[in-house]
Amino acid sequence: MTAPHSPVYQEYYTRTPFQLLTGAGWKRLVAFRADESGITLGGAALRYHRFFAVLPWRDIETVAVWARQNREEKPVQNIGLKLRPGVPGPPGPNRKVTPRDAERYAPHLEYEVVRNSRRILLWKVDQARLAAAVQAFAPEVRLLFPPVYQVPPVRGTRLGHGSGGSIFDILP
């Protein structure tokens, strides 16, 4: 538990019955934490301990809270890190993302930020508290909140979800 006016910033995953089914129990799982020792990235629900990582401030260059959005869905938010040269990346779901895949998925970001990202799911980022924590513990670390990347619509004749068209428009 942190003091009420402490610069430590911590978010927990929202508890769900799914936790009980995966064997995680009903305990509160840390999704993200920024404190005097560095940044803690929680793992995904099914692989919490496998993807859990703590990175010291001396290894971090940038913290980026970013999002991407298709026309028909809400923005998918992520938090990612750019690490100093030579520092191995944390374990995580994006470790096998190639630079080409990262360019297609988030062309507005550096490859390393995409690779070292976690999806913000079942928790939210308080930008003001995150900024206060980074300023208090590592003022040399850049904090970025790039605008939401809007995925360009796909051109062609295919009818997609939310296109306004239907298969019934072409039937006799």
Map residue 25 onto helix, strand or coil.
coil
Strands 76-83 and 117-119: antiparallel
Which whole number is the average pLDDT over 4-19? Answer: 76
Residue 155 belongs to some domain of the structure: no
**The dihedral sign for the CA sequence 150, 100, 62, 52:** positive
57-72, pLDDT tens digit by residue?
999 999 999 998 887 7
Whether residue 106 contacts residue 149, with contact meaning beta carbons closer than 8 Å, is answered with: yes
Residue 157 belongs to some domain of the structure: no
133-152, pLDDT tens digit by residue?
999 999 999 999 998 888 88
- The range of the structural domain enclosing residue 63 comes to 9-150
Which residues lie closer than 8 Å to 63 by C-beta, 6 or more apart?
34, 39, 79, 80, 81, 130, 134, 141, 142, 143, 144
Query: What is the distance between the alpha carbons of residues 72 and 34, in angstroms, rounded to a whole number?
Result: 33
Runs of H (alpha helix) within 65-147: 99-105, 111-115, 127-137
Residue 75 belongs to some domain of the structure: yes
Residue 130 belongs to some domain of the structure: yes
pLDDT of 169 strictly over 50? no
Which residue's entry shows tokens 């001396």? 58
Residue 55 belongs to some domain of the structure: yes
Query: What is the distance between the alpha carbons of residues 123 and 44, in angstroms, rounded to a whole number?
Result: 12
Which whole number is the average pLDDT over 11-18? Answer: 72
Residue 51 belongs to some domain of the structure: yes
How many domains, in total, are found in the chain?
1
